[in-house]
Amino acid sequence: MAKPLNIGLVGYGFMGRTHSNAYNRVTNFFDTEYKPVLKAVCARDAEKVKGFADTWGYQSIETDWRKLVERKDIDAIDICTPNNLHHDIAIAAAANGKMILCEKPLSMNTAEGEAMCQAVESAKVLNTVWYNYRRAPAVTFAKQLVDSGRLGRIFHYRANFLQDWTISADLPQGGTALWRLDAAAAGSGVTGDLLAHCIDTAIWLNGSMQNVTAMTETFIKERQHTLTGKVEKVEIDDACAFLCRFDNGSLGLFESTRYARGHKALYTFEINGEHASIKWDLHDLHRLQWFDHKDESNLRGWRSIHVTDGDHPYMNKWWVPGLQIGYEHTFVHHVADFLEGVAKGESVSPTFRQALETQKICDAVLSSAKTGSWTNVG
């Protein structure tokens, strides 16, 4: 019989649903020593949070996160709130000895993130940040290929995260679902929301970055604010592009926007090495593109690997070879790894400290966009 791990979730938006789904499904597929128990969900609106609790199977509700983090029957706090609450909730949860799973990005900025790292490290509580794309089997497989050295020396790393949902000038900022457009709640725009994913994957696959040079743009300068009802200045970046130099000497090129008409969530990355190249695309997330210069010259070409076989990462837990899985499974994998970490008493990657590196890069990118100069990372 698996041991219970009592979860207290704060926030019930899109991410609250992806995490709750993962907690509910994980032990159907993964044989873990611990089983998540959905003890409580917390949000300000009692009626709505009750509805969420009923839908997903939470045993109780809270309307004040301070009460939730103090509850003796909670083992782990899952933070799914807008970014401006991550810091306070994490610090209080750590002070109460809770394990913490925090949505990305870790924090509003490096200073907050550093304080959060110190809090979990001095309280010695297990911690992780939900950079979920690391656990798409094709991305984990890319990591195995890079680590095996098969690509040889890496020359280039290229990533995009393109969306198109904020093009309309009539879209307001702030409030439920639209807090991502409000700098006071989100900290930044596409840099913290989308490029943070690209950066997390990049430093995982290709190592640390030394310095960056960036440009940002806010195409729609004013929007109605849902909370105040007034037309207010938009302070987030709608688009951001940056160049960087990695510690291993390779060059990086990153672009993100919410103004690429036709693209809903096109996250792609490509790595070019001396012997081989890799490409991945979130719209086709169960495939990894692989080009190997060692192939016979007349047979050389890009292979499209269907990452669904039993010897591909995580895939022996799901259906049979050839049958693919999708987006929500990345969260199930994160929970499965987290539970394995709990059994061993270890935090799983990315830990708060590892996610702080992404935060530092985001800060360097935003600072470089302001000054127009190359900026060293933290």
- Point out which residues bind ligand SOE (CB under 6 A): 14, 163, 193, 197, 265
Q: How far apart are CA 218 and CA 232, in angstroms?
A: 13
User: Which pairing describes strands 34-42 and 3-10: parallel, antiparallel, or unpaired?
Assistant: parallel
SS3 percent helix, strand, coil of the chain, rounded to 5, is 40, 25, 35
Matching residue, tokens 């457009």: 181
Tokens of 11: 């926030």
| CB-based contact 326:307 (threshold 8 Å) | no
- For the CB of residue 330, give the shortest distance to ligand SOE in the complex, in Å: 9
Nearer to ligand SOE (CB atom), residue 184 or residue 265 = 265
Residue nearest to ligand SOE (CB): 193
Interior/surface letters 25-36, b for 16+ CB within 10 angstroms, e for the rest: bbbebbebebeb
Nearer to ligand SOE, 265 or 305 (CB): 265
C-beta closer to ligand SOE: residue 18 or 277: 18
Residue among 92 and 266 whose Cβ is closer to ligand SOE: 266
State in angstroms the smallest separation of the CB of 170 from ligand SOE.
18
Give the nearest distance from C-beta 25 to ligand SOE in angstroms: 19
Could you tell me the smallest distance in angstroms from the CB atom of residue 103 to ligand SOE? 8
Helical segments of 253-297, H only: none
SS3 164: coil
Of 177 and 320, CB closest to ligand SOE? 177
Shortest reach from residue 155's CB to ligand SOE, in Å: 28
Look up residue 191 and give its amino acid: T
According to DSSP, residue 225 is labeled B
Q: Residue 125 or residue 234: which is nearer to ligand SOE going by CB?
A: 234
Task: Report d(CA 47, CA 202) in Å as an integer.
Answer: 41
Q: Are 330 and 136 in contact (CB under 8 A)?
A: yes
Q: How far apart are CA 46 and CA 177, in angstroms?
A: 18
Please identify which residue in the block is written with the tokens 């000895």.
Answer: 97
C-beta closer to ligand SOE: residue 220 or 265: 265
Sign of CA dihedral 218, 106, 17, 282: positive
Residues 6+ apart with CB under 8 A from 26: 32, 35, 36, 332, 335, 336, 339
Q: Looking at beta carbons only, is 163 or 375 nearer to ligand SOE?
A: 163
Closest distance of CB 240 from ligand SOE, Å: 14
State how far Cα 345 lies from the chain centre: 23
The nearer residue to ligand SOE, 243 or 266, going by C-beta atoms, is 266
- Beta strand spans in 258-329 (E): 266-273, 276-281, 287-292, 302-306
Token pair for 269: 């990355």
Residues 6+ apart with CB under 8 A from 229: none
Of 188, 232, 241, 187, the residue nearest 212 (C-alpha): 241
Shortest distance, position 36 Cβ to ligand SOE, whole Å: 21
Query: Closest CB to ligand SOE among 14 and 319?
Result: 14
